[in-house]
Amino acid sequence: MDRVNASTSSAAADDPARAAFAALRTPEGEQLLAELRDHDPADELATATRLRRTYPTELVSAALGQARLRQRAAAKFGAEDAYRMFFTPNGVEQATRTSVAAHRAARFAGLGVRSVADLCCGIGGDAIELARAGISVLAVDRDPLTVEVARANAGALGLDGLIEVRCADVTEIDASPYDAVFVDPARRGGRGRIFDPEAYSPPLSWATAAALRAPRAALKIAPGVPHEAIGPEAEAEWISVGGDVKEAVLWYGEGFAPGAFRATLLPSGATLTAPAPLPAPPVGPVGRYLYEPDGAVIRAHLVADIVERCGGRLVDETIAYVTSDEPYSSPYVSGYEITDQLPFNLKKLKALLREREVGVLTVKKRGSAVEPEEVRRRMKLAGPNAATVFLTRVAGAPTMLIGRPLR
């Protein structure tokens, strides 16, 4: 054993979590994990009792914990990768999902980026997709267990030739040899999610300065970041997956558009951008059609662009529902044909739904405090038909719009 490995394993021996992880990497640990590949979490107690007859108790606990994390991780990484990879509870929580990391890596690769310093690599969610895009990665994290997990993941996925994992404080890393830097600060602390960007680790101001020093950079931030916190040097992109906004990323350097806002929808990759904030769109009466923009479009303040494209208007100046008199189809909106418009009144809604024999009701809301579940519960639905009700404001007045999705 060389000196580095010897010191790593003695440090690991002092840290129960690292010792447990090291045990999982032994042939016995690997075998146990393979046995747990398809175990049913509902039978965990019986499984643990059975396995303890063959394996040491501590190893069984560690393997069951890892199996649970892999099951959770499958939603982000897909089962095929998740069951080859390793995780920590924080690591799986904070990791970027594969589709988003791959999208980001493709943007870098498309600009000719060949090397990236991944500052705050976690268990390697982003480093893996950067490497899969052919980019060599220096992956840095200061948490020793997380670093061991990231290294194991690079090896398990056959990417260790492209990913060098280093245990260090990112603020002490010289990223100047790299074509680009990627920073994904920790936005969770001991007490849960952190909302103040200066309380991120490292703080957003440090991450921004590091991004501005590099030839190109990407900085992952919370999708709810206030637009005022985004500097004029960044192109800001909001990314949704299957209609749910997952994250925002700030891009810096050549090939990106400073000051522009962008909305990207995955898995299609459809992407909408405007060079600068758009003027306020017109507001007017509800037409025959209503459009609900994707959350990424709303976060990127691109609703005005949709209004222009469909030749429509907003139903209220503060609400992101777009209306038009002609049908309009686009990946950035879900469209509905509106059949009724009524002042907000749940009794009237109940009577109308009964008359229309609606058995399945989708409740959507914007600008209303009413809980959709509560509405559905009070409706006593019965009948062969389906409908969608929008609880919203129209020109400031609480309103119900009833309709059906456009095909």
| Chain position carrying tokens 């904030």 | 277
**SS3 letters across 145-192:** HHHHHHHHHHHHCCCCCCEEEEECCHHHCCCCCCCEEEECCECEECCE
Rounded CA-CA distance 186/146 in Å is: 13
Closer CB to ligand SAM, residue 199 or residue 342?
199
Closer CB to ligand SAM, residue 122 or residue 335?
122
Which span (22-30, 136-144, 256-264, 383-391) binds ligand SAM, by CB under 6 A? 136-144
Which span (15-23, 169-177, 342-350, 374-382) binds ligand SAM, by CB under 6 A? 169-177
Q: What would the x/- binding string for ligand SAM be over residues 77 to 96, using CB under 6 A?
A: -----------------xxx
Strand partners, 272: 263
Question: Is 205 a residue that touches ligand SAM (CB under 6 A)?
Answer: no
Site for ligand SAM (CB under 6 A): which residue of 63, 73, 124, 310?
Answer: 124
Shortest Cβ 184–ligand SAM spacing (Å): 4
Closer CB to ligand SAM, residue 73 or residue 391?
73
Shortest Cβ 116–ligand SAM spacing (Å): 12
Question: Is 181 a residue that touches ligand SAM (CB under 6 A)?
Answer: no
Q: Which two tokens stand for residue 153?
A: 């993941």
Q: What are phi and psi of 20, to 5 degrees?
A: -65, -40
Nearest to 283 by CA among 402, 168, 394, 133: 394
Site for ligand SAM (CB under 6 A): which residue of 35, 44, 81, 143?
Answer: 143
Shortest Cβ 181–ligand SAM spacing (Å): 12
Rounded CA-CA distance 104/271 in Å is: 13
Rounded CA-CA distance 22/72 in Å is: 21
Shortest Cβ 351–ligand SAM spacing (Å): 50
Rounded CA-CA distance 12/307 in Å is: 58
Nearest to 70 by CA among 52, 83, 51: 83
Site for ligand SAM (CB under 6 A): which residue of 29, 202, 293, 295?
Answer: 202
Rounded CA-CA distance 89/353 in Å is: 46
Site for ligand SAM (CB under 6 A): which residue of 36, 82, 116, 123?
Answer: 123
Shortest Cβ 220–ligand SAM spacing (Å): 7
Helix (H, G, I), strand (E, B) or coil at 233: coil
Shortest Cβ 341–ligand SAM spacing (Å): 45
Site for ligand SAM (CB under 6 A): which residue of 99, 146, 368, 388?
Answer: 146
Rounded CA-CA distance 393/352 in Å is: 19
Shortest Cβ 288–ligand SAM spacing (Å): 44
Count the site residues for ligand SAM by CB under 6 A. Answer: 22
* Residue-level length of the chain: 407
Question: Is 170 a residue that touches ligand SAM (CB under 6 A)?
Answer: yes
Instruction: Centre a 10 Å sphere on the Cβ of residue 300 and count the other Cβ atoms it contains.
Output: 28
Site for ligand SAM (CB under 6 A): which residue of 8, 18, 125, 298?
Answer: 125
CB 273 within 8 A of CB 282: no
155: alpha, beta or left, given left = phi > 0 and alpha = psi -120 to 50? alpha
Site for ligand SAM (CB under 6 A): which residue of 122, 293, 367, 403?
Answer: 122
Shortest Cβ 257–ligand SAM spacing (Å): 24
DSSP-derived letter for residue 55 is S
Q: Which residue is nearest to ligand SAM (CB)?
A: 125
Rounded CA-CA distance 222/246 in Å is: 8
Closer CB to ligand SAM, residue 106 or residue 186?
186
Helix (H, G, I), strand (E, B) or coil at 237: strand
Shortest Cβ 26–ligand SAM spacing (Å): 25
Closer CB to ligand SAM, residue 221 or residue 333?
221
Q: Which residues bind ligand SAM (CB under 6 A)?
A: 94-96, 120-126, 140-143, 146, 169-171, 184, 186, 201-202
